[in-house]
Amino acid sequence: MIVVMSPNATKKNLENVLKKLEKLNLRTHLSEGEDRTIVGVIGDKKIIANLEMEMMAGVEKTVRITEKYKLVSRDFHPLDTIIDVDGVKIGGEKIVVMAGPCAVESLEQLRETAQAVKSCGAEILRGGAFKPRTSPYDFQGLGEEGLKLLRKVADEFGMKVVTEIVDRSDLELVENYADILQVGARNMQNFQMLKALGESKKPVMLKRGLSATISEWLNAAEYIMSGGNENVIFCERGIRTYETFTRNTLDLSAVAAIKELSHLPIVVDPSHGTGRRTMIAPMSKAAIAAGADALMIEVHPHPEVALSDGNQSLTPESFKNLMNDLNGIAKAVGKTL
C-alpha cells in the first residue's frame, strides 16, 4: 500500500503517519517529490488490509498495490532512481557505457581493451572472471586472478568494474574487486544468491533470465531490495525464442515496460542479445531510443582469437565508430553520452 500525502501536509503530519505505521511493525519507504510525498508501506498483509489512514491529518488518499513486488514498483516510488557507482551515475541524463571483453584472458588483452574503450567514453570496464559456460569444456575464466586484473586495469584507467558472480560463496571475494555485482541470466532466480546480495553494499546488475517474464524479473529484483540493498539495475540481454538467426531475441519492449512499471534504471546488452557483431550497432541505437539508461558492449582487441564469444565482440575501431554514432541518438532523446 502507498499513503499519498496532500500537497499542504506539514512535517508534523508526515511524522504522525510514520509513527503510526512503525507502531504496527510495518516497514515504510519515503518518496518525496516536488508536489507530493508518498509513503510506501510493507508488512503483514492482514494489518495493511485493515489500515484506515485517510482520516489522519495531511493524508490525501491510500492506494493498494496488487503486484507482489512493492519496493521495485513505480507506484511505490514514482521518481526515477539514480544509482551512484562511486561517481558514475546510472539512470540520469547521461547514457553510461560499460565495455570490455566477455572474459578476462590476460593483462595485455585487458589493458589494450580498457585503453581503447576508455578513450571513446566508456566509464565502466566489463569482463568475466568466472564464466558459466554451456559446455564444461569451454573456457571457464581465470577466477580470482581475473578479478585482480580487472581491478588493476580499471584503476589504471580510472574506470569502474562490473563482473559476474556465479556462486553465493564467492560474494565476499567478488565484492573485494568489483564496483557492480552482475547476476547472470542463469542465476536470475537463484533466490539464495539474491537474498545474499540483498545484504551487500554494492550495486547489483540483474540480468533477465533466458525465459523470464517481466513479472518474474521484477520479483527477482524485489528479493534483493527486500534484503536492504536498494541499488539494483536491470539488464535486458535477450530471451530465448524460436528464432535461430540470433543467439537470443533482444526484447527492447522490456525497456519501455521496466520504465513504466519500475523506478529502477535499465541497461541493454546487445552483444548477448543478438550474438552477432554486425547487429550490435543498430540494436545499441534502438536501445537508447527505447529509453535505456546504459549499454553493456563486448569489445576485444582480437575477436578472432577470443576465448569466449568472439563472434559478438566489437573491435576497438568498431566500438569507436559506434560511440560516435550514438551521440546523435542520445541527443535526439534528450540525453548525453
Chosen CATH of 2-63 out of 3.30.70.1140, 3.40.50.2300, 3.40.1390.20, 3.30.420.40 = 3.30.70.1140
**What average pLDDT does the segment 103-128 reach?**
97
The candidate with the shortest Cα–Cα distance to 285, out of 248, 245, 323, is 323
Q: Would you place residue 300 in the very low, low, confident or very high pLDDT band (cuts 50, 70, 90)?
A: very high
pLDDT at residue 14 in the model: 93
pLDDT at residue 107, as a whole number: 97
Asked whether 250 and 274 are in contact (CB, 8 A), the reply is: yes
pLDDT score recorded for residue 257: 98
| Residues forming a β-bridge with 40 | 2, 29
pTM given for the model? 0.91
Give the per-residue pLDDT at 270: 98
Domain 83-332, CATH 3.20.20.70 — does that match?
yes
Tens of pLDDT along 154-166? Answer: 999 999 999 999 9
**Cα 266 to Cα 234: distance, rounded to the nearest angstrom:** 5
Contacts of 48 (CB under 8 A, 6+ apart): 1, 26, 41
Per-residue pLDDT of 54-82, as tens digits, reads 989 999 999 888 788 999 999 888 899 99
pLDDT category, 140, cuts 50, 70, 90?
A: confident
Per-residue pLDDT tens over the stretch 236-284 = 999 999 999 999 999 999 999 999 999 999 999 999 999 999 999 999 9
Q: What is the mean pLDDT of residues 294-312?
A: 94
Q: What is the pLDDT of residues 171-183, one digit of tens each?
A: 999 999 999 999 9
- Give me the pLDDT at residue 137, please: 66
pLDDT for the residue 32: 83
Chain-centre distance for alpha carbon 147 = 20
Q: Name which of 61-65, 100-104, 166-170 the model is least confident about.
A: 61-65
280, 265 contact by CB (below 8 A): no
Per-residue model confidence as pLDDT tens digits over 43-54: 888 898 888 899
Q: Which residue ranges make up each domain of the chain?
A: 2-63, 83-332
Average pLDDT over the chain reads 94
Q: Is the C-alpha dihedral spanning 266, 317, 308, 196 positive or negative?
A: negative
Determine the pLDDT at residue 133: 64
